[in-house]
Structure 1
Amino acid sequence: ATAGQWVEAWFKGKISYRQASLMITVAIFMILFPMSVVLTFLGLGKKWVPNDGAWKGAVWVAFIMSLFDALNLAVITGLVNIDISGLMNIINQIPLAKQGFAWLIPTILGYVIGAVVYKFKKKESVAYEVWDN
């Protein structure tokens, strides 16, 4: 509610409180949705997740990609006035980007890279630690 009021004041009444609240809610959802999907799938298949690096790599990449989507929404709605057309042209080259899943392929790559990097650092996985009492 406060953010909606702030956006309404920032745009000097050109955007209503209701529109501002909706824009902010949609942007937050766009950021949280990919991470939620990734965490759900990793949780369902946790016995096949090799280490913590896979979790971290996938979630971080999903978060970063979702920030690009939210930034694009902010530009489209006029909340932010910057030119990101070059960045969005690159992102739209990713398979499934035009269907709203630009985060999917990079997230899979983040999973793989995170798992490999974590393995070579030779860290023990916290997710599978067994506590002996």
Structure 2
Amino acid sequence: MAKHQPAHGETCPVARSLDLIGDRWSLLIVRDAFDGTRRFGDFQQGLGVARSVLADRLKRLVDAGILAVAPASDGTAYQEYQLTPQGESLFPLVVALRQWGERYLFQPGEARSQLVETHSGQPLGLMQPVTAEGRVVAAGETQVQKP
């Protein structure tokens, strides 16, 4: 699995993550992959992104080990993009961004897509940081230890 090399020896995990997946198109590609999009043309049609931009972002996500290229599941000559385990581990990030957007970017009653748990059909609970023991922790109760 290829490792993304951060610019300028960045020691902050947030900065390194944003360097790789922090642009609009990369995150929307990952979102759509969670929603079942697999083919280049389907990503392009759904996102309305230029072919060159999409090709660049898909290559970066594949090189970083977030997506993998596989033969089409229907046996055609096409190829598909699949989330790797590393890519699937971005699910909490996508959920947290979704929940933040639901809370702050929509008016009450305004139409929006909704993520629900498949078995129950119910919305997910709020994503919150917790300690190793499971206690919810606020930002003011944390600190960054820099090297």
Task: Decide: shared fold, TM above 0.5.
Answer: no
If the length of structure 2 is used for normalisation, what is the TM-score? 0.25
* Structure with the greater alpha carbon radius of gyration: 1
Pick the structure with more helix per residue. Answer: 1
More strand by share: 2
Q: TM-score, normalised by structure 1?
A: 0.26
Higher RCO, 1 vs 2 (CA within 8 Å, ≥6 residues apart): 1
